[in-house]
Structure 1
Amino acid sequence: MSDPNDLAAFLASAWQHLGRGVADGRSPARYPTFATVSPDGLPELRTVALRRASQTDGIVEVHTDIVTPKVQSLRVLPKAALHVWLPKADLQIRLTTTVEILTGETVENAWASVPPASRVSYGTEPDPGTEIDDVYAYTKPPVRDRFAVLRCRIDHIDLVELGERHRRAEFTRGTEWRGAWLAP
């Protein structure tokens, strides 16, 4: 059994789960909850698909349609939080991030990796969130210019493990991810 006091191992385990979320569509880490604050100060939550996780760079990435309300919110306040719940591991991962919205030529490789059948997620007409007259009064053409990558630079990680004895730790970019134990 590993040492429960090993902060580095606890953090590495979280990154392993995030990496599995990128690679495995059945992993619960694949679909985190993504939180922003609307321009009028209201909390906004939605489920996104995790597309990249790099411990080395301290980033995670998700893809989006550039005209979604979350992008409008991020243009006003480029901060987001992601929440992942892993039931088999009894682990909650919370990430607080600063978000960069990438578009155009900088996302060409990411666009090329999107399967053709999934490209229809980027180009809904009318724009996402627009009122429509009928439940199916929209189309979903793939529109390359509407594709964006949200590069989330992680500032803070909060891990809570709900085992027989709970463990909680936080890690910050400012401390070079050294970590500290917190009361759960």
Structure 2
Amino acid sequence: MSPDPHPWAQELGTLYDHAWHRLVRGVHDRHAPARHPTLATVSPDGLPKVRTVVLRAADKPQGRLEIHTNLHSSKIADLMAKPLAALHVWDHGSRLQIRVEAEVEIASGAAVADTWAWVPNRSRTAYGSSHTPGHPIPSALAYDNDPDQSVFAVLHLNIRALDLLHLGAYHRRAQFTRESGWAGLWLVP
């Protein structure tokens, strides 16, 4: 039998470290799988809502992730009603699924002015206020995209749990929780 191409998946500590390495890489590498995770929330009427987002920061010591959004997007209403979210990453190269459960804090206005200063001009167009995201328009491009700092928001995802599933020659699954100090526990895949 050939050696396992993913030895980091064999121990809880190295599996946890590898997952964080992949998350941090997603912040800095636009081609990394963790760059565009899927964020799930629950709408005020109880429906699940998912969308692709851009991972902007990953802080392992704090157990925290960061996403930027338009303050008028539906995810804000979802999070105001229930400040919990899930984040999903499939990293094909590592054969690793990363699932995150998090409590979410919404920051905007003066609290995010320093962050706004670092947002590249081409990215600022996502934070325009001509219409609320999802508002009906008469044609595909009937909106303006003038940047408006007043609609820029930062979502701080304070991780409660990481569920990691490695689909290698032998499937392995583990859960790491803030409550346990990230000690880790093997689970049936």
| Same fold (TM > 0.5) | yes
Deviation of residue 5 (structure 1)? 4.0
Q: Which amino acid aligns with 1:179?
A: G
Give the structure 1 partner of residue 76 of structure 2.
71
Q: Which amino acid aligns with 1:92?
A: Q
Q: Does 1:23 align with 2:28?
A: yes
Give the structure 1 partner of residue 47 of structure 2.
42
Give the structure 1 partner of residue 87 of structure 2.
82
- For residue 158 of structure 1, the aligned residue among 159, 163, 175 is 163
Q: Which amino acid aligns with 1:36?
A: T
Q: How does 1:1-184 map to 2 (within 5 A)?
A: 2=7, 4-184=9-189
Query: 1:16-47, CA deviations, whole angstroms, 9 ceiling, x for partnerless residues?
Result: 00000001111111000000000000000000
Q: Within 1, Cα distance between the matches of 2:71 and 2:186?
A: 38
Q: Within 1, Cα distance between the matches of 2:9 and 2:136?
A: 51
Deviation of residue 124 (structure 1)? 4.2
Identical-residue share of aligned pairs (%): 46
Instruction: Call closer, same or farther: CA 1:90–1:81 in 2, change over 3 Å.
Output: same
**TM superposition score normalised by structure 2:** 0.94
Q: Which amino acid aligns with 1:57?
A: Q
Q: Within 2, Cα distance between the matches of 1:74 and 1:103?
A: 14
Q: Which amino acid aligns with 1:156?
A: A
Gaps of 5+ in 2: none
| Contact map agreement 2:8 2:15 (CA 8 A) in 1 | no
Moved over 3 A (4+): 1-5
Superposition RMSD on alpha carbons, in Å?
A: 1.1
Instruction: Call closer, same or farther: CA 1:13–1:125 in 2, change over 3 Å.
Output: same
Instruction: Call closer, same or farther: CA 1:177–1:78 in 2, change over 3 Å.
Output: same
| Contact map agreement 2:8 2:18 (CA 8 A) in 1 | no
Gaps of 5+ in 1: none
Query: 1:35-94, CA deviations, whole angstroms, 9 ceiling, x for partnerless residues?
Result: 000000000000000000001000000000000000011000000000000001100000
| Contact map agreement 1:124 1:138 (CA 8 A) in 2 | no
Instruction: Call closer, same or farther: CA 1:3–1:24 in 2, change over 3 Å.
Output: closer
Aligned residues: 184
